[in-house]
Amino acid sequence: MTSDPDIDSPQVTQEPARRSGSILLVLLVAGAIVAAAVAFMTLGRANAQPYILALLALLAMVGLFTLFAFAAGIVRFADRTADDPLMRPIADHAFDGIAVTDSGGHIVYANAAYLTLTGATSMQDVRPVERVFIGNPDVSEAVFRLLKAAREGKRQQEEVRVAAADGAHGRWLRMRVRPLGQTKRHSRYAVWSIADITRDRDRQEDVFQELRHAIEYLDHAPCGFFSVNKAGDLAYVNATLANWLDHDLAEIGSGGLKLTDVVSGDGAALLTSIIAAPGEVRTEVFDIDLRMRNGKTMPARLYHKLAFGADGVPGPSRTLVISRARDERVDPQRAAEVRFMRFFDHTPMAIATVDKSGVVHRANARFAKLAQSLSPDGAASRSILAAVNERDRGQLSAAIHAAAEGQGDIPPVDAMLSGARERWGQFFVTAVVGEDDRDAEAAIVYMLETTERRTLENQINQSQKMESVGQLAGGIAHDFNNVLSAIMMANDFLLNAHKPTDPSFQDIMQIKQNANRAAALVRQLLAFSRRQTLQPKVLDLGDTLSDIGMLLKRLIGEKVTFPGVVHGRDLWPVKADVSQFEQVIVNLVVNARDAMPNGGRLAIRTANVAAAEVATFGYKGIPAADYVLVDVSDTGSGIPPDIVDKIFEPFFSTKEVGKGTGLGLSTVYGIVKQTGGFIYVDSKAGEGTTFRIFLPRHYPEVEAQPAPANGAGKGQEPAGAPKPASTDLTGHGTILLVEDEEGLRSLNARGLRSRGYSVIEASNGIEALEALDQKNGAVDLVVSDVVMPEMDGPTLLRKMRVRNPDLKIIFVSGYAEEAFDKSLPENEQFAFLAKPFALSALIAKVKETMALS
């Protein structure tokens, strides 16, 4: 076979053959010029002048013709790089077609491969790329992009398919362009290369077809396959497994399913709890339940293969799934194994087998999930001791060592679990019998999380403690009220006996003011114990908060910004004691001010909360009902998480010694609870605090009841009851006064007698009944304490009603009326006077009750 000399040889179009320069020719030209100059000198100046002019004219003509030849491209300056003996043959004999075009698009060089790929038969037929594929719609767009890149001096690559003229398969070409000899503004030349990649494309197509066949086979294999990425998303599920689980492949392919969606219970934690060394490949076998789309489960065995990278990070899994639901009828033994594994993985107790050092060998799904939740990065640890707080690890380690020695009846270990928040668990350790290998499994550890149980126990203990403190505070307040009542009563006698001009009058007034301050402190104790006397009224919280707006602005000072109360629209009415509710708001505002020593922002908002919206707040213990919400928010220092549960405890304070009694929030809590409401706190250290008060909505129709016919009831007058028309507090009648405090009793009796009443004194209920019997029930009014030895007030009332059904009675107590009205018969009528009280209040209450028919 012979080669075409026009193709095998280097090709240059539109350019004559270059010749190498010669030093001999240069020397001959120089010698001729020197000889001519010597000859002109010998002829003399006058004779040589015509010859000199002729020589100069000849040289000028040669130079002029040379310039024209260079401009026309006939003569060019020699390019030494083109004559490089190494680079020129490489380009000439390259496998890819190479062509060089100038800025005008003309080809200045083309190798033999370019002629072959473009179909040129000789140098006269060679064409640039755009002219070769002109009119071909499959290639024209790619060529246009290449030309644009060539003009802009950029690199560009395109792969195009050129159809054969006879309709054959055609061929694939890879075309590239890059600049050559680029200047700041443009490129002098562009290098084009064309390569035939048809064979590579065919090979890729064959590989793709083989891969498609493999995927099709894998999709319809008799076993299930799936792959999970690091985020827990199902990256691949074959058609067989999707059919088993009744899922759509398109749904899975769009990333709509996670591993937890198709694995029942805590089984997903088993697959994500594998630990291995960097670069290791692990295959674990798991018997778990898969969750079908309809919620049913299917037992399956998984061969879970996982490869770990050099950095220890696990890559996507490759998991083979074998359905074990078919084994139940065929193989009873395997069916029993399936049932045991399902029981093992679905038990609510975390189970693991460990060696002497605590390294976990096997574990169920609940343990794997627990271990992941306790790890900071969500990855399970090899050792069971890592699940326990460092302070309790010694106890669990000792129990495991005892089991490894074969001991039985090992006491359970109560330990705090590791992790950011406080969690507790109870560990039961038993020995594994029959293992001689010291590295083998030494013990079985069963673990139950007891966090909720401990929390409940702490809440019950806290509730009992608060109840005990409340009873103590109430008892102390009751005794203080008796003392204060006596002080205030004696003080009233002194005020009546002294004129304002008397020198002692100011001292007596000072005693009265201090007694009132002491009474306010007692009311705080009673508010905490929820035994204070309230006078609830139907309120519009918007008006109530607006009334104390100026007071709140004075309390918070100038550093704190308070734009005013933001009221909700059409607030529902509530029923509360207005003075006590104001105290609640004032206490919260003062606490907010103290939390913002450098200034901040205070916000108070009100809103209606329907029963359907209560659950959205996420608070425990509040039933679904209609409430009016009051928010008190600040931007202060916040409450640390470790003390937020203690802020409502009495005498608990974070302020410096001497700057707080610790009764403010406990009083708030008691008032809100006694009103029937709920209070919650949301706070983050450094970000501020929000107190939310939920007061029950008041329904007026609930109180629409007929007035009792036989006098005052439950401490309030019936509708239309006569009111005293004057300030005359004198009266007449027989009053039975029952009080166990002798000093207070004598002062009360003295005051009543001074107003014209006949008073019979009794120190307890038994004496009162005897006095009533002596009078044959002819007593106009009974004024009785509630808490007395031997017989309390409610018991005394029931026995007196037997003797005189129409008897009028006033109960006197430092406790709230609701603290004892449950021990009275239903619809029992009585009046009520709260301790401590002044003499004028007692006389007014007696005359008011006596006037009732």
Residue by residue, DSSP assigns 564-613 as -EEPPTTPPPEEE-HHHHHHHHHHHHHHHHHT-TT-EEEEEEEEEE-GGG
- Say which DSSP state 377 is in: T
Measured in degrees and rounded to the nearest 5, phi and psi for residue 783 equal -110, 110
Token readout for 474 is 């109430």
- 8 A C-beta contact, residue 76 and residue 105: no
CA 852 to chain centre: 63
Max CA pair span of the chain: 184
Encode burial over 183-215: b for 16+ CB neighbours within 10 A, e otherwise.
eeeebebbbbbbbbeeeeeeeeeeeeeeeeeee
For CA atoms 35, 38, 42, 45, give the dihedral sign. positive
Give the bridge partners for 156, in sequence order: 177
- Taking the C-alpha atoms of residue 147 and residue 481, their distance in angstroms, rounded to an integer, is 103
Q: Is 672 helix (H, G, I), strand (E, B) or coil?
A: helix
* CA separation for the pair 748, 189 (Å, rounded): 122
Place of tokens 């020695």: 405
pLDDT along the chain (853 residues), means of 10: 41 44 75 79 75 80 79 59 62 84 85 84 81 80 88 88 72 89 73 89 85 79 83 82 81 70 76 74 80 82 82 80 68 70 74 85 80 63 81 87 84 84 85 63 85 78 64 64 76 78 79 73 56 69 83 82 87 85 86 87 92 88 90 88 72 50 68 86 87 90 46 39 52 87 83 88 88 85 85 84 85 66 68 80 87 71
The one-letter code for the residue type at 769 is L
In the chain, ranges of CATH 3.40.50.2300 domains: 734-851
Helix, strand, coil tally for the chain in percent (to 5): 45, 20, 35
Q: Which of 813, 781, 815, 785 shows the shortest CA–CA distance to 800?
A: 781
Q: 836 preceded by cis ω (within 30°)?
A: yes
User: Taking the domain 351-454, which CATH number applies?
Assistant: 3.30.450.20
Q: Give the span between the Cα atoms of 612 and 782, in whole angstroms.
A: 49
What is the per-residue pLDDT for 9?
Answer: 41
Task: Tell me the three state secondary structure of residue 726.
Answer: coil
Give the model's pLDDT for residue 778: 82
> What CA–CA distance (Å, rounded) separates 522 from 517?
9
Q: Record the tokens describing residue 574, joined without a space.
A: 């509530």
Range list of β-strands (E), 153-261: 156-162, 171-182, 187-196, 224-228, 234-237
* Residue 814 · residue 477 · CB < 8 Å: yes
Extract the tokens encoding 273. Answer: 């709890």
Q: Which of 358, 345, 364 has its CA nearest to residue 299? A: 345
Quick one: fold of 221-326?
A: Beta-Lactamase (3.30.450)
Q: Which amino acid is at 399?
A: A
Superfamily classification of domain 93-201? PAS domain (3.30.450.20)
Architecture in CATH for domain 734-851: 3-Layer(aba) Sandwich (3.40)
Predicted pLDDT of residue 692: 93
* Phi and psi angles of residue 578, each rounded to the nearest 5 degrees, phi first: -65, -40
CB burial readout 45-68, b (16+ within 10 A) else e = eeebeeeeeeeeeeeeeeeeeeee
Q: Where are the alpha helices (DSSP H) in 763-851?
A: 765-774, 793-803, 839-851
* pLDDT value of position 284: 80
At 308 the three-state DSSP class reads strand
Q: Note the pLDDT of residue 439.
A: 55
Kind and range of the H or E run holding 58: helix 45-71
* CATH 3.30.565.10 domain residues, the chain: 533-696
> What are the backbone dihedrals phi and psi of residue 143, each rounded to the nearest 5 degrees, phi first?
-65, -35
Q: For residue 99, which phi and psi values (nearest 5 degrees)?
A: -140, 145
* Burial group, residue 748, by CB count within 10 angstroms (0-12, 13-18, 19+): buried
In the chain, CATH 3.30.450.20 covers: 93-201, 221-326, 351-454
Fold of 533-696: Heat Shock Protein 90 (3.30.565)
Residue 416: closest CA among 400, 435, 396: 396
- For residue 506, the model assigns a pLDDT of 80
